[in-house]
């Protein structure tokens, strides 16, 4: 069985809507489309290139698929450090309940039983990436149908817009898969691995009492 990685660009308040362009996703009257553009970053670019080079399948929601299908197929294979060639090469799976006309080579639409279809894709591939596709990501989070969550966190707060964790997110444990990376542009790259179980609770006052005791004279 392979693994599914979710790659999202997000603000400090975890807004991940329309990072790439003003018209990318206007739903909800969102007016900050293209908020990532003022932060060109070589480190982020290198991380993206490495992730795309390693993947052997791409899983997308309809909106992100339409954006990608209108852009990447017309680029040279070595464009953007080879990203174009890799995206055009791998199989593309699109999650949508509407009948789609898929013109990008290697594309297919997954069935209406999303959970079963995603599990089947994970069984058939080693490294599947979900890029953007925020609406579709909510289904993956709710169903715990991911293995790794890669967040590219930028130093801005928008206050409105679709967030990484929507209202349907279920309680989950995650572990930091590798040390965080910070960049000169102020971005922080966080790679989390899905872990077993649900978050535990406790009583911090017990720790506070322990500190008081430690500081008291003998």
* Domains identified in the chain and CATH numbers: 3-215 (3.40.430.10)
- Whether residue 140 has pLDDT greater than 50: yes
Q: 104 in the Ramachandran plot: left (φ > 0), alpha (ψ -120 to 50) or beta?
A: beta
pLDDT of 128 = 98
DSSP 38: T
The DSSP element (H or E) to which 82 belongs, if any, is helix 79-89
pLDDT exceeding 90 applies to what percent of the chain?
Answer: 86
- Whether residue 211 has pLDDT greater than 80: no
Q: Out of 16-25, 56-65, 107-116, 146-155, which region has the weakest mean confidence (pLDDT)?
A: 107-116
Q: Out of 29-43, 79-93, 99-113, 140-154, which region has the weakest mean confidence (pLDDT)?
A: 99-113
Contact between 132 and 158 under an 8 Å Cβ cutoff? The reply is no
Strand-strand pairing, 181-182 and 188-195: antiparallel
pLDDT of 11 = 98
pLDDT of 216 = 47
pLDDT of 100 = 87
Q: Out of 126-135, 175-184, 192-201, 203-212, which region has the weakest mean confidence (pLDDT)?
A: 203-212
In whole angstroms, give the CA distance from residue 108 to residue 95: 9
94, two tokens: 């699109």
In whole angstroms, give the CA distance from residue 68 to residue 38: 21
pLDDT of 125 = 97
Averaged pLDDT score across all residues of the chain? 93
In whole angstroms, give the CA distance from residue 179 to residue 190: 8
- Whether residue 218 has pLDDT greater than 60: no
pLDDT of 215 = 52
Please give the average per-residue pLDDT across 12-20, as a whole number. 97
Reported pTM: 0.92
**Each residue's pLDDT tens digit, 64-123:** 999 999 999 999 999 999 999 999 999 999 998 888 889 999 999 997 899 999 999 999
pLDDT of 179 = 96
Please give the average per-residue pLDDT across 22-28, as a whole number. 95
Contact between 136 and 61 under an 8 Å Cβ cutoff? The reply is yes
């Amino acid at each position: 069985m392979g693994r599914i990685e979710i790659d999202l660009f997000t603000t400090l308040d975890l807004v991940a809507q329309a990072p790439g362009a003003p018209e990318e996703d206007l739903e909800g009257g969102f007016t900050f489309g293209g908020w990532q553009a003022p932060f060109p970053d070589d480190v982020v670019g290198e991380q993206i290139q490495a992730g795309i080079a390693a993947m052997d399948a791409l899983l997308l929601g309809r909106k992100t698929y339409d954006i990608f299908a209108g852009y990447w197929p017309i680029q040279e294979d070595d464009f953007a450090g080879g990203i174009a060639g890799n995206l055009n090469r791998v199989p593309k799976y699109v999650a949508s309940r509407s009948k789609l006309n898929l013109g990008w080579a290697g594309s297919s639409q997954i069935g209406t039983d999303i959970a079963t279809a995603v599990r089947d894709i994970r069984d058939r591939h080693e490294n599947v990436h979900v890029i953007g596709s925020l609406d579709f990501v909510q289904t993956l989070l709710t169903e715990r149908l991911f293995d790794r969550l890669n967040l590219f966190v930028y130093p801005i707060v928008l206050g409105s817009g679709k967030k990484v964790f929507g209202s349907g997110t279920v309680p989950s444990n995650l572990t930091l898969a590798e040390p965080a990376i910070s960049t000169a542009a102020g971005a922080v790259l966080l790679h989390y691995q899905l872990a077993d179980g649900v978050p535990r609770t406790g009583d911090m006052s017990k720790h506070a009492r322990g500190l008081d005791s430690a500081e008291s004279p003998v």
